[in-house]
Amino acid sequence: MQRTGVFLGFVPWIVFSVVSGPSTWEWAALAGLVCSLILVVPTWRRTHSMSILDAAGIAFFAVMAVLALALDRATLQPLEDRAQLLSSVVIAVVAFGSLAAGRPFTEYYAKQSTPREYWQSPVFTRINRVLTALWGTVFVLNGLCDVAVGFWGADPDLFSWVLPVVLIVAAVKITAWYPDHVTGGHDDEHAAPVAQG
């Protein structure tokens, strides 16, 4: 996994979360879509492939942008109120859905810097299953933070900003640390090298 690979996959979602707010989520959806396309198009032109996270992002942000254009303000209010929750749910579904399908989404990024002979390695598979589950859990927790604010009146600064940022930073650091921890940083065939994400 390239050191920045997985993190770059989340950049459009982070942009959406930062820009999204009362009366701005339509712009957040457009910003997320533009950011997704900027990140995906060069890779697509080179490899004719994209990660499931990228595909889900393009679909999600495109649908949100179209709804913003097609629906009136009153109809859009529930989406506006729950935009961040919806994005967390979509990412969690992508992560756990890819695990259930036997194709952890982090494998896409890992394969960009790991020699092909290691792709079927049990170590490679285990690392990506753990990291995909980690990211899925982070976004389940972020979704619960959104629920705590929207439905239980929890402190929005703590639950909408501080805790989600701490969770994402922790996940980035674990993603960078875990592959070397598992492989011991060795390049032999028993410790399939998986560069950090």
Tens of pLDDT, residues 10-52: 999 988 887 776 677 788 889 999 999 999 999 899 889 999 9
| Counts for the chain of helices (H) and strands (E), in that order | 9, 0
Domain membership flag for residue 139:
yes
Which residue range is the domain that position 143 belongs to? 5-183
Counting the structural domains of the chain, the total is: 1
Domain membership flag for residue 197:
no
Q: Which of 44-53, 56-65, 150-159, 181-190 has the lowest mean pLDDT?
A: 181-190
Residue 196: pLDDT band (50, 70, 90) is very low
Domain membership flag for residue 30:
yes
Q: Which residue has the higher pLDDT, 4 or 122?
A: 122
* Angle formed at CA 15 by CA 12 and CA 17, multiple of 5 degrees: 110
pLDDT tens-digit map of 104-115: 999 999 998 889
- Residue 75 CA from chain centroid, whole number: 28
Domain membership flag for residue 196:
no
Burial 37-49 (b: 16+ CB within 10 A, else e): bebbeebeeeeee
Whether pTM exceeds 0.75: yes
**pLDDT recorded at residue 4:** 63
pLDDT tens-digit map of 60-100: 999 998 988 888 877 877 877 788 899 999 999 999 999 99
Domain membership flag for residue 50:
yes
What contacts 41, CB < 8 A, 6 or more positions away?
none
Domain membership flag for residue 153:
yes
